[in-house]
Chains A and B, each alone.
Chain A
Amino acid sequence: AVAADPIKVAAIYTVPVEQQWVSRIDKALNAAQDRGEITYTFSENVANTDYERVMREYAEQGMDLIVGEAFAVERAARKVAAEYPDTAFLMGSSFGPAQPNFSVFDNWVHEPSYLSGMIAGATTKSNVIGMVGGYAIPEVNRLMNAFMEGATSVNPDVKFLVTFINSWYDPPKAKESAFAMIDKGADILYAERFGVSDAAKEKGILAIGNVIDTAGDYPGTILSSALWHMEPTIDKAVGAVKGGSFEPADYGPFSFMGPGGGSFVVDESLAPADAVKAAKDKEQEIMDGLFRVNVNDTEPKSTM
């Protein structure tokens, strides 16, 4: 049956909604709410221990769709879902979907990351690129590795500095790590965390954006960004729930560039024209399915 009324959607985040990638889910859900398709509510910063309870509480409240991150709570999340077959679950997960109602998604912006790597590799003059990450988890490693691969594909001499600050939220610390890399000669910084672009801006060098578009905040600093868009995923899932056709599925591919889940932007005033062209060509190859970016979830290491 097709529901005419907005469906009830709840999201459970283990970090505050400001966290870059959670903010993309929040944004897509808010957009759906603004369109009148859903009513949306969320719990943020939910501790691991409490995750299962929060899932159950939302399920008990009769939510139609629950969106969340199952990464650290896989088993529990799957168990709860199984006990509420009438509720649809769309969970961030590195594993596959499960019957009857457990769909998964993930942030797969390795493609645009690769492209921004190409830009960075071609633009760097010092041949040193610094990368500051939060934690070395697969979702982060994947992007960094794709980026590094993209950069070396156009410039085999480029070297990387890698630091993890062990926090999702410590911009001052991320900034200090970035400064340290600039001291070591980096002239482009991969800004996986808040704080890195600030260091770049302050020292007048370039930064690569990640997941969200911060070019407006740092004019003249953001060379290129790999953006994630949750809208295709959310819209698909909401549509399926509304249409009564929700099935366990892997929504991961909706984060790929093809369906518009990932995109690549470059500030053409900052990058060499031929590099932009090469990247755009590669983008087309990806869209056409002619090129596949490797998925490598191992922890990236400094190469100098």
Chain B
Amino acid sequence: MSEILDILLSANFWAASLRIATPLIFGVIGALICERAGVLNLGIEGIFTAGAMAGWMAVWLGAGLWGGVLVAALAGGFFGLIHAILTVPLGLSQHVSGIGVTLFATSLSYFTYRTALPDVSSPPRIEAFKPLDIPVLSDLPFIGPALFQQTSLTFLALALVLATAYVLYRTPLGLAIQAVGDNPSAVESQGLSVYGLRIGAVVAGSSIMALGGAFLTMSAFDAFFFGMVNGRGWICIALTVFASWRPGKALLGALLFGAFDAFQVRLQTEVGSFIPGQVFLMMPYLLSIAALVVVARRADYPRALLVPYFRGQR
């Protein structure tokens, strides 16, 4: 038991939790924006991959780190636009379109990578984002290492949570997005464009998701690998429900998942000799399901989620 306490009390553990959570924060915020507008975006896994690949490749080709972030966001926006066009004005199945976009974005990223780098036995590296090491703050006991030794992208993710919450609850745009996910005809009858809002939200949300991928290749690591997204996108879809579509809870959910994962890794070395490793690896998923059971009753679906809107059709 004391080992467990030791883990929980260590600053490095919390630093790791935040690091592991960062791509999830981008992903869940992006997914939340799409879903708040009424569009489920199962393209997320592919958009992560595209962001990871495109951002990395841009830096590798000399675009600079922030240039890479921009390219990743643009790549995410591009695939988001495809999903948006298929599901919003065309009203096609959000499930299929999303999975189609995942296939498309993933295979296009892989194909592009392989065509550009046909023969690499060891993937090329870039100079990735470094932990900020903010002078005084980083040296604070406990808080310092846990919070202030993260890279800029982690702070960007945290800032995006605040920005999303502000936009959603305080600005006309956010109110319109909330409304279009609840009852599109409320938006249309007030002279706003349902399609415009939804397409915009999906594109913006997808750009943010792609940053989660970019974090993997530009901060958590410095090279691109096939399959490195490894289900993180899907986790974000689950976290969005867990978060009841609220930015604050989304952050909490991502952090919890990150903490489970960081904890799992540490516990595996503690008692790994008695318990099969897979039990630890299952932990974050099982705990997510358990957490969901607890919050399920209160979950507050965007009522128009998955429902395409056709003007003048009944």
Direct contact of A and B (CB under 8 A): yes
Give the interface of A toward B (CB within 8 A). 16-18, 23-24, 26-27, 30, 45, 130, 136, 161-164, 166-173, 175-177, 179-181, 183-184, 194-195, 198, 212, 214, 217, 301-304
Given the known interface contacts A23-B121, A163-B269, the answer about A176 and B19 at a Cβ–Cβ threshold of 8 Å is yes
Interchain CA distance A170-B125 in the complex, whole Å:
15
Count contacts on B: residues with CB < 8 A to the other chain: 35
A143 to B222, CA, bound (A): 26
B265 at the interface (CB under 8 A from A): yes
Q: List 6 A-B contacts (CB under 8 A).
A: A16-B226, A26-B119, A172-B20, A172-B221, A172-B228, A198-B221
Chain B residues contacting A177 (CB-CB under 8 Å) are: 265, 268
Q: Assuming the A-B contacts A162-B272, A166-B277, A180-B265, are A30 and B119 also in contact, with contact meaning beta carbons closer than 8 angstroms in the complex? A: yes
B3 to chain A, nearest CB (A): 10
Residues in B neighbouring A184, C-beta threshold 8 A = 266, 269
B124 nearest CB neighbor, chain A only: A217
Asked if residues A18 and B121 are in contact (CB atoms below 8 Å), the reply is yes
Q: How many A-B residue pairs have CB under 8 A?
A: 103
Residue among A17, A45, A175, A180 making CB contact with B269, cutoff 8 Å: A180
Q: Does B193 contact A (CB under 8 A)?
A: no
B150 to chain A: closest CB distance in Å? 13
> Which of B's residues lie within 8 Å of A, judged by CB?
10, 12-13, 16, 19-20, 23, 119-123, 125, 216, 220-223, 225-228, 230, 261-262, 265-266, 268-270, 272-273, 277-278, 281
Q: In the bound complex, what is the Cα–Cα distance between A195 and B222 (angstroms)?
A: 9
User: Given the complex, which residues of A lie within 8 Å of B268, measured CB to CB?
Assistant: 163, 177, 302
Chain B residue nearest in CB terms to A186: B269
Q: Are B269 and A302 in contact (CB under 8 A)?
A: yes
Chain B residues within 8 Å of A175, by CB: 220-221
Given contacts A18-B122, A164-B277, A183-B13, contact A45 B226 (CB under 8 A): yes
Output the least CB separation between A207 and chain B (Å). 15
Q: Which 9 A-B pairs give the minimum distances between C-beta atoms?
A: A172-B220, A23-B121, A301-B273, A161-B269, A16-B226, A171-B221, A169-B225, A180-B265, A169-B227
Contact of A183 among B12, B120, B278 (CB under 8 A): B12
Given known contacts A163-B265, A180-B16, A18 and B225 CB-to-CB distance under 8 angstroms: yes
Contact present for B272 and A176 (CB under 8 Å): no
Q: Which residue of chain A has its CB nearest to the CB of B220?
A: A172
- Provide the bound-state CA to CA distance between A173 and B273, in Å: 20
A16: chain B residues within 8 A (beta carbon) = 225-227
Residues of B within 8 A of A304 (CB): 269
CA distance A180 to B228 in the complex (A): 20
On whether the beta carbons of B230 and A167 are closer than 8 Å, the reply is yes
A-chain residues with CB within 8 Å of residue B277 when the two chains form the complex: 136, 163-164, 166
Across the interface, name the chain A residue whose C-beta is closest to B274.
Answer: A301
B214 to chain A, nearest CB (A): 12
Residue in chain A with minimal CB distance to B271: A302
Seed contacts A24-B121, A172-B220; 8 additional CB < 8 Å A-B pairs: A45-B226, A163-B265, A173-B230, A180-B266, A180-B269, A194-B221, A195-B221, A217-B122
- The residue on A at minimum CB distance from B281 is A166
Taking CB atoms, residues of chain A closer than 8 Å to B265 are: 163, 176-177, 180
Q: How far is the CB of B258 from chain A (nearest CB, A)?
A: 9
CA of A170 to CA of B227, assembled, Å: 7
- Which chain B residues border A172 with CB–CB below 8 Å? 20, 23, 216, 220-221, 228
Interface pair A167/B272, CB less than 8 Å apart = no
Determine the distance from Cα of A103 to Cα of B16 in the docked complex, in whole angstroms: 46
Interface centre among A26, A175, A180, A303 (most CB of B within 10 A): A180
Docked CA distance A24–B121 (Å): 8
Cβ–Cβ < 8 Å partners of A163 in chain B: 265, 268-269, 272, 277
- For B122, give its contact among A130, A168, A181, A214 (CB under 8 Å): A214
* Complex interface: chain A residues within 8 A of B119 (CB): 17, 26, 30
Question: Within 8 Å CB of B227, what residues of A?
Answer: 16, 167-170
Which residue, of A26, A172, A198, A214, has the highest number of chain B Cβ atoms within 10 A? A172
Nearest chain A CB to B62's CB is how many angstroms away?
A: 20
Contact with A26, one of B121, B216, B220, B262 (Cβ below 8 angstroms): B121
Chain A residues, Cβ within 8 Å of B225:
16, 18, 169-171, 194
A288 to B310, CA, bound (A): 80
- Whole-angstrom CA separation of A195 from B220 in the bound complex: 9
- Between A16, A183, A302, the greatest number of chain B beta carbons within 10 A of the residue's beta carbon is seen for A183
B-chain residues with CB within 8 Å of residue A214 when the two chains form the complex: 122
Chain B residues, Cβ within 8 Å of A301: 272-273
B269:A162 contact, CB within 8 angstroms: yes
Across-interface contacts of B269 in A (CB, < 8 A)? 130, 161-163, 180-181, 184, 302, 304
Contact A179 B16 (CB under 8 A): yes
Q: In whole angstroms, how far apart are the Cα atoms of A5 and B122 in the complex?
A: 31
Complex-state Cα separation, A27 to B119, whole angstroms: 9
Cβ A171 vs Cβ B223 within 8 A: yes
